[in-house]
Chains A and B, each alone.
Chain A
Amino acid sequence: MKFGVVQFPGSCDERDAVHAASLVGEAELLWHADPDLKGSDAVIVPGGFSYGDYLRAGAIARFAPVMESVIAFARHGGLVLGICNGFQVLCEARLLPGALLPNAGLRFVCRQVDLEVANGSTAFTRACSSGGADSAGSGAQAQHLSIPAKHACGRYYADSDTLSAMTEAGQVVLRYAPHENFNGSVADIAGVCNEQGNVFGMMPHPEHAVDALTGSIDGLAIFQSMRMAAEGATTAAESARA
């Protein structure tokens, strides 16, 4: 399977995203001014400060030529992962509900965070629930991921009606573990998906947690999940054709 990783002027995590995705499949950069997704089976909108984050984080990037294709790809059911600035871009593009606001403490924060997988059956988290010594036989126990976060504008917000609909529908995918919600996100939300489940955004950076040398490999599960989902979809499509 092939991951396309969008590169805006001001992106800074696209190369780590390519590296992480290449551990589970092929990966290629997609330049912001080129609407061609180059046959990608999944798209990653990476972290950084696209177009300088002028006006609001993600507000300008959302109108980049490549984003028109990403939006069409998402509307046809393609898998789209937004990380940090990518999450902000996907919210601005209305592919995901809600918005990201400046951290409650107004500071840029860079730290390892403990996350709980609130929905382990999505196309982006299904690999989280399998494996892991402490998850065996303890269905009630939430799977935890240790992943770095680094942002100044990561306070997730959605109004209360949207929030209850999302919670009901399992769209709250990742939450900060108790005492880990450093940015003031509503309901400790760290990652959400759309209603259809094919678009997912998270503030922490799974692409920075794929090598034991840097402290954690928990981020790999996100990319492995996407591979499982993409291959499952291919298999289903193939059997439908057969």
Chain B
Amino acid sequence: MRARVLIRPKAGILDPQGQAVERALPALGFDGVEHVHVGRLVELDVGDAGQLDGMCQRLLANPLIEEYEVQLLDGQTGTPSP
């Protein structure tokens, strides 16, 4: 089973990376950009999708400072795309 874990800074915690990107985009002429946040993406093949929450809690995310979201990619194998 292919899974994707999206990890974001928790709401309310200063996200300087997001702020830097938010300032950079208008400088390139992209207007109307707001609320930019930069997080992390982990993709993995797992035998037991039931273990994903434990993986996030213990290693992939730090729940004190980050939120995570698990997406199961049905019908996909772990073969990397060409």
Q: What residues of chain A have their CB less than 8 Å away from a CB belonging to chain B?
A: 55-56, 59, 63, 92, 98-99, 101-106, 155, 157-159, 184
Residue contact A106 to B65, C-beta cutoff 8 Å = no
B60 within 8 A of A: yes
Residue contact A157 to B13, C-beta cutoff 8 Å: yes
- The answer to whether B13 touches A106, judged by C-beta atoms less than 8 angstroms apart, is no
Other-chain contact of A59, B16, B20, B59 (Cβ < 8 Å): B59
Q: Say whether B27 faces chain A, with CB atoms less than 8 Å apart.
A: no
B28: interface (CB < 8 Å): no
CB-defined contacts of A105 to chain B, threshold 8 Å: 16
User: How many residues does chain B have at the interface if contact means C-beta atoms less than 8 Å apart?
Assistant: 10
Question: Which of chain B's residues 1-49 have a Cβ closer than 8 Å to chain A?
Answer: 13-14, 16-17, 20
Q: A157-B13, A184-B14 are in contact. List 19 more A-B contacts (CB 8 A).
A: A56-B62, A59-B59, A59-B62, A63-B59, A92-B62, A98-B64, A99-B62, A101-B13, A101-B65, A102-B16, A102-B17, A104-B14, A105-B16, A106-B17, A106-B20, A155-B14, A157-B65, A158-B64, A159-B64
The listed residue (A56, A63, A104, A158) touching B16 by CB distance below 8 A is: A104
Bound together, the chains give a CA A55 to CA B40 distance in angstroms of: 9
CA distance A155 to B59 in the complex (A): 20
Closest chain B CB from A89 CB (angstroms):
12
- A180 → B minimal CB distance (Å): 18
Contact with A along B44-82 (1 / 0, CB 8 A): 000000000000000110101100000000000000000
